[in-house]
Every structure is written in structure tokens, then in C-alpha cells.
A and B are shown apart, each in its own frame.
Chain A
Amino acid sequence: MGSNRRENLVNEYRWPYDRSETPSFPTIEVNIISPTLNVELQTSRTLRLKVDTGYAGQIMLSTDLYNQGFHLAELPEEKFGMYRTAAGPVEVKRARAMVRLPSLSAIVEGIVETPRRIHFDRNLAGRGLLQQFQLLLDGPKAESCLTLG
């Protein structure tokens, strides 16, 4: 879990880098609420997202996680997206989710995506999400520090 500090009326959230890869990978943590029909709205899942500034969208979910309820808040197919990658085009399906940062009371609406025809096993935070915050990548400390201005 990330620690929550208050300094000069600014909220900061810090998370350690993911050390499962070398060099370690910056991450942020969010709560994502899906419309899964058999759980209460307050039930949300805390997710650690890898920071991927090469990804233009907001949140890319793993196939397995997307399948846990996000088909119930899907956008129409005409609003699905396409990413051009070095490995060829990747079509993504999109759904509407409620996203919040730990300890932040406000919930923002977000778009989550996952590849439509390819099994994907990671959870990513892209530029579409990161542009809403100030994010400091502290390499020597291996910490991401997200600031709500």
C-alpha cells in the first residue's frame, strides 16, 4: 500500500517501484469500481498499475480483470479503439469505470480498456490518466510520488 502524507496542504501519494523487473518499474495504485451486479458499489478493487507513458489511454486492464464485470459497462463498439504497435495493430474494447486514488474521497470517471482478441496480462496507467496529476518518478529511491495540486 502507498503511504499518504500531507505537506503544505498538498496531498502526496507514494508507492514503491515494482521490483519484479530490472530496472524496477514505476507504479501507482488506484481503486477501480466495476458494475459487477452481485456486489455493492462500495466494493472496489485496489490495483497497482504500471506507469506506461508510451500508452495514450487511461487504464489498460488485464484480460482477466476486465472480464470481471466490465462487460456490463461497455462502450458501444463504434467507440472501441485501435493502437498501432511494433507488433501490429491491437484492437481494444472499452468500458466505463469509476476510479479513485486511495484516501481521496472524490471518484472520477475513467475509461478502462483491454485488447479484444489477444490475452493481456498486465495493468497499465497511461497518459490519459497521468495528465490529471503531477507525478514524480524518483529513480534513486525507486518511488513514484503522485501529487494532487
Chain B
Amino acid sequence: MRIRRTFTLSEKLLREITDFRWRNHIPSLSQALELILTRALDVSSQVTVHQEDDAVQAEREINNKAYRQIKATLVHEKQGSFVVIANGSLLACAGTLEDAYSILRQKVPTARHAIIDRIDEKLQAEAVWEAIGERIS
């Protein structure tokens, strides 16, 4: 049995679903939407959502805001060192990761989140995880 309901979608999402429909030669928009939702539900059923600790999230937000504010200065002055940020402020620039850990223990023993960043380090932002049907929960 099929049921008719009315939903509101963003223009962008509707355009993407329409593109998907034509690209895959699907007879109707409803069938295209049904196929997309079925696939999404298949994936969702294998995944357990992880909800982070509120305190960690709050401190992460504060520390990242501080990082963005001082980043330009750090890039010029602190190349190669480990920048330690906690409680929304720059605690120190350490020579080694071990020193950075020590500074955290001494100065902010109750912190729930901190940033340790090597300013000049470039990391790969995006990559393919090759596994087919990777079980992620």
C-alpha cells in the first residue's frame, strides 16, 4: 500500500534528488525519493550515533574560537612548536609533545578539552576509506 503525504524540502535538496532521478533513469520523483530513503535507512540501521559529552563540546568550541583568533600570529611567530590552548587561552608553546602534556597537567588539571597543534603541520583533510560495506558501529 502506498500513502500520499506532503513534505517540505529545501530547493537544493529537491534539485539533487531530481538530478539523481534523471541520472539513474528513474520513472518518477517519488520512486527516486523512495530509493534514496531506503538506501539511507539501510546505512542508518548499521550505525550507532555517538553523542559527545556536553562539557567537552563546550570547551572545544571555546578553544577553537581562541585558536582562530590567534592563529595568524602563531603562524608567524611559533613555527614548529606545539601550541597548547585550554580554557579559551594560549597556555604555552612547547618544544616537544611531552612538554605540552606536562604543561596541561600542571596548568589546567581539570580541563576536559585542550588543543595541541603544531602550527606548520599539514594534514590530509579528506581520503577514501576503501573498505566496501565497512562496519562502522
Taking Cβ atoms with an 8 Å cutoff, the residues of A that contact B are: 33, 35, 37-38, 41, 52-57, 63, 67, 71-79, 81-88, 90, 94-96, 98, 107, 109, 111, 115-121
Contact = CB atoms under 8 A, between A and B. Distances in A.
Contact of A74 (B49, B60, B108): B60
Interface string B36-71: 000000010011111011001000100010011000
A79 B124 CA distance: 8
B116 A73 contact: yes
Contact of B114 (A72, A84, A109, A120): A72
B60 A54 contact: no
Contact of A90 (B56, B82, B116, B129): B129
Given A54-B129, A72-B104, A87 B136 contact: yes
Contact of A56 (B97, B111, B129): B129
Interface centre among B109, B112, B128, by most chain A C-beta atoms within 10 angstroms, is B128
The bracket for how many chain B residues form the interface is 35 or more
B72 interface: no
Contacts of B111: 37, 72
Interface in B14-44: 43
B126 A118 contact: no
B130 A71 contact: no
B102 interface: yes
